[in-house]
Structure 1
Amino acid sequence: MSMSSVVPSSSPTISLSSSSITRKPLFLSPPFIRPFAPLQHRFKSRHVKCSYSRTNGEESSRSTTIDVIADVRSEKLVVLGGSGFVGSAICKAAVSKGIEVVSLSRSGRPRISESWVDQVSWLPGDVFYANWDEILIGATAVASAVGGFGNEEQLKRINSEANIAAVTAAKEYGVPKFILISVHDYNLPPFLRESTYFTAKRKAESEVLSRYPSSGVILRPTFVYGKRRVDGFEIPLDLVGEPWEKILSATENFTRPLNFLPASDLLFAAPVNVDDLALAVISAVTDDDMFGIFTIDQIKQAAKNVKV
């Protein structure tokens, strides 16, 4: 008897949502490798459509025809502080990789006459009073570049409380990943690391790692250089940062023995290009296996992983 399958015109069609598909997680070793996220976190608005048919008779003696239609993965990144120095670099890098970008910042749309700006949804607003219903729906990741200086109260509110509020909201709305731009500790002595600025940063870090233990990303750069715009003027920080980075790279073998000295990183820790920092964020957005705390060298390596 021929074992061919006959497909009648009245074949039933079954549509399955991706949330109904489960799989056994793959456990890998720490610190920056984790099991794959559930499908509902990896895909936005996805479905799998299966069609099948069978002839009369025993099912075991008939072949089955299955057609699967699946969409490719897409990302929606919400950038907090997207109009600032680091935040705008993140938005630009995300747009260049085809990622949908929404920016929330108090100043709204930046005064930059570049084509990528038109591809970002700019929302003016404050993290403490944000309408998260409109901002976080469909987001696959949140990246916070919120931070700043001031008196002790301002340091706590900007560097700690604002980020904690954002992390709490992202978790409540089911955003799979949170990325925080923090700061290197510069090998400072303990009494300096206990200053309000550093303690506020570390408190925000703890919140990210607590709520996102397997998908939270903390980036700890040193001095970030690039072309920074302030009140319509461009400050070329790269004129200082880029040469210093090259000098430190060339003299690394000589300066390494000095790394044990307190506060040695103020001189010997390499600065970070703002574009590399932005690409490290993109790497975190697109790589489900990237999580944890990332140091200077790890930030630069993450950036290399997504460079083309």
Structure 2
Amino acid sequence: MASFLSSLPAVSARPIPTSAFPLRKPLFQTPPTLHFKNHRFAVSCSYAEAGVNADSSSNTIDVVADVRSERIVVLGGNGFVGSAICKAAVSRGIEVISLSRSGRPTYSDAWVDQVTWISGDVFYVNWDEVLVGATAVVSTLGGFGSEEQMKRINGEANVVAVNAAKEYGIPKFILISVHDYNLPSFLLSSGYFTGKRKAESEVLSKYPNSGIVLRPAFIYGKRRVNGYELPLDLVGEPAEKILRAIENFTKPLSSLPASDLLLAPPVSVDDVALAVINGVTDDDFFGVFTIDQIKDAANKVRV
């Protein structure tokens, strides 16, 4: 055996070139683009093969997608509460579209030019022109009149809007409703209150985890009517301060029928608007909100 091995030719050991076993290339050479509706974020990541030390010279992959920019549709944006919501949203860089029968306001303010004003009726509007790309719908629809009129504008109009928003995949719906007054049943059965509650039910049913219902009492602020400004804050603001100062003494009276017509604190239109902004930007904010909770939500945004 030894003689056989000695007869074999000598083989010299040479190092195997590293090119024979190249490092495996990354799975992709160019940064991918991820598409997330209305969202944008950046992700940096590095890769290193086994046996290769990662250092500052390692290749970096940047993944960029669209950041969510809020775009809200305000139904009744030309009204008292609606215009306050539009103004508050614009001041925070939120894109705003207003749909109302009267369209653009007749007065001129800096924020007015930053809103897209659409004239139309929720019962007949082409929703393609209004809802596409929106992240939330805010409804301030409501009013007084005959029983049929109140049922239609407070209830049916909002139901139509909720279902349209749901059909178009809008993530949030915010409804400005009314305080749950302890009125006699014959008053609560009026078209105004039954319409509002019907609208609330539709919001909470179609948007169980993102629908918002705000229930303010009397809303005060500077209200424009036929070119004139009604300073409702001259009455509402002092009344709110007084009622909050004595609320510990008035609580025992809350069980009396219709007592909260006098004892429910008025709510600033600015607080309602800021509570809406909180609802638009905070995904954990949903459900039914009372007067005090509206105030708390507004303070979060104000701070």
The normalised TM-score by structure 1 is 0.84
Inter-partner Cα distance in structure 1 for 2:51 and 2:259: 74
**Correspondence for 2:137:** 142
Inter-partner Cα distance in structure 1 for 2:160 and 2:88: 25
Percent identity over the alignment? 68
Deviation at 1:256, TM superposition (A): 1.1
Question: Do structure 1's residue 227 and structure 2's residue 222 form an aligned pair?
Answer: yes
**Correspondence for 2:64:** 69
Inter-partner Cα distance in structure 1 for 2:260 and 2:45: 61
Structure 2's unaligned 5+ residue stretches are 1-22
Inter-partner Cα distance in structure 2 for 1:60 and 1:194: 74
Letter in 1 for 2:262: L
**Correspondence for 2:181:** 186
In the TM superposition, what are the counterparts of 1:156-195 in structure 2 within 5 Å? 156-195=151-190
**Correspondence for 1:15:** 32
Question: Aligned match of 1:122 in 117, 126, 144?
Answer: 117
Inter-partner Cα distance in structure 1 for 2:289 and 2:45: 46
**Correspondence for 1:31:** none
Question: Aligned match of 2:242 in 244, 247, 253?
Answer: 247
The normalised TM-score by structure 2 is 0.85
**Correspondence for 2:85:** 90
Letter in 1 for 2:289: F
Deviation at 1:180, TM superposition (A): 0.2
Kept in 2, the 8 Å contact 1:215–1:292? The answer is: yes
Deviation at 1:73, TM superposition (A): 2.9
Inter-partner Cα distance in structure 1 for 2:232 and 2:101: 24
- Residues 231-257 of structure 1: per-residue CA shift (max 9 Å, x gap): 111111111101111110111111111
Question: Do structure 1's residue 292 and structure 2's residue 287 form an aligned pair?
Answer: yes
**Correspondence for 2:106:** 111
Deviation at 1:131, TM superposition (A): 1.3
Match of 1:148, SS state, is: coil
Inter-partner Cα distance in structure 2 for 1:7 and 1:98: 46
Inter-partner Cα distance in structure 1 for 2:223 and 2:273: 14
**Correspondence for 1:267:** 262
Q: How many residues align?
A: 276
Deviation at 1:60, TM superposition (A): 3.9
Deviation at 1:7, TM superposition (A): 11
Letter in 2 for 1:123: I
In the TM superposition, what are the counterparts of 1:270-281 in structure 2 within 5 Å? 270-281=265-276
Letter in 1 for 2:139: S
Structure 1's unaligned 5+ residue stretches are 1-5, 20-39
Kept in 1, the 8 Å contact 2:33–2:63? The answer is: no
Rg larger for: 2
Kept in 2, the 8 Å contact 1:83–1:105? The answer is: yes
**Correspondence for 1:214:** 209
Deviates more, 1:125-134 or 1:289-298: 125-134
User: Relative to structure 1, is the Cα distance of residues 17 and 233 closer, same or farther in structure 2, using a 3 angstrom cutoff?
Assistant: same
Inter-partner Cα distance in structure 2 for 1:89 and 1:252: 28
Kept in 2, the 8 Å contact 1:106–1:124? The answer is: yes
User: Relative to structure 1, is the Cα distance of residues 208 and 11 closer, same or farther in structure 2, using a 3 angstrom cutoff?
Assistant: closer
Match of 1:113, SS state, is: coil
Inter-partner Cα distance in structure 1 for 2:119 and 2:69: 25
Match of 1:183, SS state, is: coil
Kept in 2, the 8 Å contact 1:17–1:47? The answer is: no
**Correspondence for 1:102:** 97
Kept in 1, the 8 Å contact 2:39–2:69? The answer is: no
- Residues 20-78 of structure 1: per-residue CA shift (max 9 Å, x gap): xxxxxxxxxxxxxxxxxxxx4xxx16476778666xxxx44445733233554310010
Match of 1:255, SS state, is: helix
Letter in 2 for 1:132: W
User: Relative to structure 1, is the Cα distance of residues 50 and 269 closer, same or farther in structure 2, using a 3 angstrom cutoff?
Assistant: same
Inter-partner Cα distance in structure 1 for 2:32 and 2:167: 29
